[in-house]
Structure 1
Amino acid sequence: MIDSHQLLFFLSALGAFNGFILSLYFAINARKKNSANYFLSLLMLVLSIRIIKSVFFYFNPNLSNIFIQIGLSACILIGPFLFLYLKSNEKKENWIKHVIPSLTAITIVGFFYPYVQHKAVWQVWIVKAIYLQWLVYIILSEKYIRPIIQKIKEKESFKKIDIWSLSIYIGVAIIWLAYTVASYTSYIIGALSFTFVLYLIALLLIFRNSSEPNFLHEKEKYKNKEIDPEMLAVIDQKLALIIEKELYLNPFFSLDDAAKELKVSKHILSQYVNEILGKSFSNLIKEYRIEKAKRLLETENKITLENLGYDSGFNSESTFFTAFKKTTGLTPAEYQKSYSK
């Protein structure tokens, strides 16, 4: 009969073991040999090292101090590898400036202040500094998660890699939080959190590699389904109605609304926007709204920048300013100033 103590050990150790397996999978057997896979592999590796240390220390307080130091030191690379993984999905990043300084710093600290002789220093200062650095990288990584969150807010379809990246980000944040509050709860909660998060990620991996549509993303299948030339002309003409009637000023205007207004099928309209215009429906509407904002800045002298986003169809100030700067390269104030010259 397995008692609760043994079950707790099994569940917490299971996550660490499977973390090592996943790390090897991404490093060796991943289909696409790119930097993202290797950063993800290294992220899983350092997380697993940190977790296995927690498990053995919790169930064996007499664990050798060198293993404790290695486990704690591994945390300093979790943040950098998370950041590098998320950023590498968009563009390449110089990993050296993120990894080498952190690795050098923890090596020097560990050499001059070994855990076995300076437990108090580690517990009061070093561990807190490591967790702070981890948090800084979580905050920096949010930049690459923001577009995915925006897609969710705007009810836009997103790719499987979006769900995958968001899951990795949230998982690492949960593990960081679990260890941060461990002194107020239980030390083993970090390991249990990792096991829980890891199985969610493994589940997503199964769906990601499945030929079936993702359970959170019903993928539009356009292959071998060309739009009739006459329908292309009809949609091209009808699409102008969105601008003429300024339907995009409704902050909740969706693909469904557009299809009903233009009297075409949602699937055909989505295919047209994606294949012919080369963009998502959400980005198309965003462009219409930015153009509206630019016209307001050019013609309305008394309009306030605070209300400009809402008057252009955006449902929040921050979303508007981010989209405007990304599209024009200028803030609304800078654009207004440059136009008035």
Structure 2
Amino acid sequence: MNQAYPDLIYNGVMLCINIQLLLISVFYFYKRQLRLVILGALCFFIGAIFINNLYWNIVKESFFLSLLLGAGKNLFFGPLIYLYVSTAQTPKKRLKKHVLAHLTFPFIIHIAYLTIKFGYSSFYTQNYYWTVISLGYVLVAISLFYLVFGIIEFKKNKVKPLSPRVKRRYGYFMHVLLSYYFAINLYNILPYLTNSPFFAANFFTLNRYVFMPIGLLINTYLLLFSITEFFKFKSLFVPSRLYQKTDIDPAGMNELTIKLREHLIEGKLYTDPNLTISNLAKELRVDKSRLSHYFKEQETSFRKYLNSIRVSEFKTLLLSKEFENYNLTGLSTMVGFQSETTFFRVFKEIEGITPSEFQQKNSTGL
């Protein structure tokens, strides 16, 4: 066991917390949802780092254990904390590029560190302090970058703005964790930066009585946050409306109206019986939440809007001589209705009479 961790009670409590973080990470990996996988990776790395530090004398000798538990996993802390929050505000089509952009650099540094440590072990041994200090500087740079960049981006993001309650929750999560890991990384290299005898004499004392208790609180907070992100508990802490209502200016409303006319009506997308708002948003190249808000501004819903177009087109076909030999069910299928029952119900809701009554009324009129 690492002599830098002399308090058995502290070690036991932290070990229990970090084992739970590892278990949560496995569960989130199993869920296979990108944001949960990111949170799972963060929990795994943080839990693994403590076990690595506690049993450092054992882990450092094993390539497999170093690969699994240690060897610079804290390089990923800043990017993963930022990514978990930022992916809630990133359009789906940009998610993969967004994640790769922030994980590539720490991954390269991590691989380089592993290569030096195990591929060039004699060089690593001879230049141990230089290598570790260099890693420390990189950790400070990464954690500082994400602390500043994360706060700025979180505040100004307006693509998918979060509801106030969720924004407070995620903002607190990001600020607390990024601030702590920047502080701990900076503290670890202060003796080399300052050459101060104070840090040389009191480094382990400060670590034991200041940073270790704070670390206990941070890991406990991460554990509670991760548990409450699980869908069965999330509703108690996060409202079902993740994103805040966003107003669309008149020009934007007009643009969407034109796009809907061109694609949905003139392009006859309404004839697709399996058309969903997600499919339509993709065709229009607009965000789904923006399209949903458009329909709300029109005091309707996607389904009601679509059905009104289908009924309107059905009436046009019914009154056309070209389709006078078609029965009602056949015409309803042509405009996108899958079910005769659904068609008759929707038609009566909109027109106030049945399709048959409408046909008789207009036949009489003719």
The two structures have a TM-score, normalised by structure 2, of: 0.46
Larger Rg: 2
The two structures have a TM-score, normalised by structure 1, of: 0.49
Question: Greater helix percent: which structure?
Answer: 2
